[in-house]
Structure 1
Amino acid sequence: MLFREIIGHQEVKRHLINSVKNNRVSHAQLFLGPEGSGSLALAVAYAQYINCEHRTDEDSCGQCPSCRKYEKLIHPDLHFSYPFFPTKELAVATDVLKEWREAFLTNPYLGMDYWRDRLDAGNKQANIPIKEAHDIIKKLSLKAYEAEYKVLIMWLPEYLDKEGNALLKLIEEPPAKTLFLLVAENQEKILNTIISRTQLVKINKVSHEEITNYLVEKHSLPHNEAREIAFIADGNIQEALNLLQNKEHSSNFQLFVEWLRTIVTDRGSDLIRISEERLASLGRENQKSFILYAINMIRQIILMQQGLKNLVFLREEELKFVEKFSELYQIEQLTETIGLLEKTHYGIERNGNPKILFLDLSLQLVLLFKYQTFPQGTQYI
């Protein structure tokens, strides 16, 4: 993985490259960024750059033996750890290393759902078990085979429970030329004892413009279609790739406006029809993308309402709608709307009945917009 192959993050790339050029490589680093931001790809590119035999001032050479092995994730001094679904046959991460390599090489922006779909997960819970922690200690106690650095990249250390304490001494006092790169999405779910032993590398979401350009250049999408996908994905490249398979995203705006007008005018029969027939019939992935689109539109309305029009990037038709709608309702109503949408999105992910979920959501929004009622105990910041 080369730095130039990763979308955006120019400042982070410069920081990582300079740390190598200035010989200031911290032995334990935490790459913290939201799903689909490219944090895992950056960690792999960083490890490749460190061990590249002919690196330049801007990137790995991509041609030396080390780079060629990194390109296929088969370098003997590159190790991975990640959540999986342990069984008697699958005790450590290397037992599904083939699947991991295929998943990353196919999609370096992968999220947990994508990884789960590559495995026979069933109803099992993903984790990083104690046997995996012991296997890491065993692997990193050996000398480097051919590279200057041994590198362990752990994806989603949030899935380490108390088992992570077994790695503390190794992370704090590793063997010489051993590098830990932890790639996480949620800092609050990581053991504090691990966080305190790492140097933070903060990675932000990818901008809408960068995702749009990526979809136009790499996937040959029309600019308007790519722009709408980028808007729905909201910085998550994994979500943008999911939406590429969704052929109905272009109608999200029209459906969103029709649905919202039915709610605002409280037309009972139309509300049932659009909830049970239009929305519930979209299919699970299309339902999720519609809700994500709705959440982002409400966020744009809030920005407009708060006088931050310069942060609103929408097409002319969408912009006119946002400007008009922002004058009608209070920020408390809009904030509560986002909460209700997120709750419905969670219900769909858990395979809830879409007819019930969308009708319930619609009725709650009728109460919220028409009667300005809020759940008891709700607090707003």
Structure 2
Amino acid sequence: MQFNRIIGHEALKQQLIATVRENRVSHAQLFLGPEGSGSLALAIAYAQFINCEYKQDNDSCGQCASCIKYEKLIHPDLHFSYPFFAKDKNETSNTYIENWRNAFLSNPYMSLSFWREQLEAENKQANINIAEAHSIIKKLSLKAFEAEYKVLIMWLPEYLDTQGNALLKLIEEPPEKTLFLLVAENQDKILNTIISRTQLVKVNKLSYEELKQFLIQDKQIEPNRANEIAFIADGNIQSALTQLEEEANTNFDLLIRWLRFIVTDSGLNIIQICEEELSKLGRENQKLFLVYSINILRQIVLLNQGMPNLVFLKDSELEFVQKFSEITTLEKLETAIDLLEKTHYSVERNANPKILFLDLSLQLVLLFKYNTFPQGTQYI
């Protein structure tokens, strides 16, 4: 993976390259960025650049023996660790390495949900177990085969749990020329003892314009459709790719009908749309619908606060947010966004969708119809 194949992050790429040029490569780094931002791809491109035999000014050469092996993720001094769905306590990530390589090479911006689908793991619990920690220690105790640096890239160390304590000494005092590159999405879920031993590399989400241009130029998507997808994805390439797999986007029509039932307190219709439509979307589409709804409400906030120049919606969507901004308040919108975000969190954790969306709907009825500010229930 070369830097030039990764969307955006130009300043960060130059920063990473400079650490190599100036011999300031930290032995343990934490690439922290939201889902779909490209943090995993950046970590792999960084490792490839470090071990490239003929480094260019702004990228690895892509042609030396090291780069060729890195491009296929088969370099003997490049090791991976990631969450998997173990069938027994002695399994390690090596069991799924071919699946892992195929998954990343087909989608460098993959999410845990995408990875779960590759293994057909359904709702099984992901984990990085103690056997994996011991396997890492064994791998890194060996001398490098070919490259100057041995590299371990651990994707989603949030799933390491207390097993990570077995790696503390190795992370703090690794063998010479050994790099740990941790790639995480949620700093709060990583062991503090690991965070304290790493150097933070902050990876921001992609901008709306960067994602839109990627869809137009790389995926050959018509501009209006690219605009719509980029808006819903909110900087998450994985989310955008998931949407592309859908034949048509019906989120706007569904949102309009749902909100109409909410603001009119149409009880039977609310129950029906929650049971027959929202609960049957499937978890990934439910998440997309909630993200889309949150982004629409944020656009309403911008209009409500007199910043129409920051609103990029068109046609029916623009007409809707203009009308809605005139009949609501900032306080209500903030509360509604908070409720939607909590629901998104619960969807990720497999809450019962019928109960979840009905509870959300009723709380929004209280908010928009009766001016009551409810507290969201957490179904975890």
Amino acid in structure 2 at the alignment position of 1:305: N
Contact 1:151 1:179 in 2 (8 A): yes
Is the partner of 1:241 in helix, strand or coil? helix
Amino acid in structure 2 at the alignment position of 1:126: A
Look up the match of 2:148: 148
Count the aligned residue pairs.
376
Instruction: Give, in whole Å, the separation in 1 of the partners of 2:176 and 2:105.
Output: 29
Instruction: Give, in whole Å, the separation in 2 of the partners of 1:322 and 1:290.
Output: 17
Look up the match of 1:29: 29
Map 1:120-131 to 2 at 5 A: 120-121=120-121, 123-131=123-131
Instruction: Give, in whole Å, the separation in 1 of the partners of 2:141 and 2:135.
Output: 10
- Per the normalisation by structure 2, the TM-score is 0.91
Look up the match of 2:166: 166
Instruction: Give, in whole Å, the separation in 1 of the partners of 2:282 and 2:12.
Output: 38
Contact 1:77 1:146 in 2 (8 A): yes
Whether 2:206 is the aligned partner of 1:206: answer yes
Which moved further from structure 2: 252-261 or 290-299?
A: 252-261
Instruction: Give, in whole Å, the separation in 2 of the partners of 1:360 and 1:377.
Output: 8
Change (3 A) 1:310 1:363: same
Deviation, 1:124, is 3.6
Deviations 1:259-301 (A, max 9, x none): 3233223345554555555545655544432222111111222
Change (3 A) 1:248 1:158: same
Look up the match of 1:337: 336
Change (3 A) 1:82 1:277: closer
Deviation, 1:19, is 0.9
Deviation, 1:33, is 0.2
Contact 1:90 1:96 in 2 (8 A): no
Contact 1:246 1:286 in 2 (8 A): no
Look up the match of 1:100: 100
Look up the match of 1:179: 179
Which moved further from structure 2: 330-339 or 109-118?
A: 330-339
Look up the match of 2:189: 189
Q: Give % identity.
A: 66
Look up the match of 2:62: 62
Look up the match of 2:217: 217
Contact 2:33 2:203 in 1 (8 A): yes
Look up the match of 1:323: 322
Instruction: Give, in whole Å, the separation in 2 of the partners of 1:351 and 1:162.
Output: 25
Which moved further from structure 2: 300-309 or 222-231?
A: 300-309
Instruction: Give, in whole Å, the separation in 2 of the partners of 1:270 and 1:113.
Output: 31
Change (3 A) 1:53 1:338: same
Instruction: Give, in whole Å, the separation in 2 of the partners of 1:120 and 1:270.
Output: 35
Deviation, 1:344, is 4.2
Instruction: Give, in whole Å, the separation in 1 of the partners of 2:162 and 2:283.
Output: 35
Whether 2:77 is the aligned partner of 1:77: answer yes
Change (3 A) 1:311 1:128: same
Contact 2:89 2:131 in 1 (8 A): no
Instruction: Give, in whole Å, the separation in 2 of the partners of 1:281 and 1:64.
Output: 50
Look up the match of 1:289: 288
Change (3 A) 1:275 1:320: same
Tell me how large the CA RMSD over aligned residues is. 2.4
Amino acid in structure 2 at the alignment position of 1:233: A
Deviation, 1:361, is 3.3
Amino acid in structure 2 at the alignment position of 1:171: I
Deviations 1:55-97 (A, max 9, x none): 1111111111111000100000100011112233862111211
Deviation, 1:351, is 6.5
Change (3 A) 1:285 1:26: closer
Instruction: Give, in whole Å, the separation in 2 of the partners of 1:102 and 1:45.
Output: 17
Look up the match of 1:10: 10
Instruction: Give, in whole Å, the separation in 2 of the partners of 1:285 and 1:192.
Output: 30
Deviation, 1:253, is 2.4
Instruction: Give, in whole Å, the separation in 2 of the partners of 1:377 and 1:119.
Output: 34
Is the partner of 1:151 in helix, strand or coil? strand
Instruction: Give, in whole Å, the separation in 2 of the partners of 1:166 and 1:351.
Output: 33
Instruction: Give, in whole Å, the separation in 2 of the partners of 1:88 and 1:283.
Output: 29
Deviation, 1:106, is 0.9
Is the partner of 2:218 in helix, strand or coil? helix
Instruction: Give, in whole Å, the separation in 2 of the partners of 1:120 and 1:261.
Output: 38
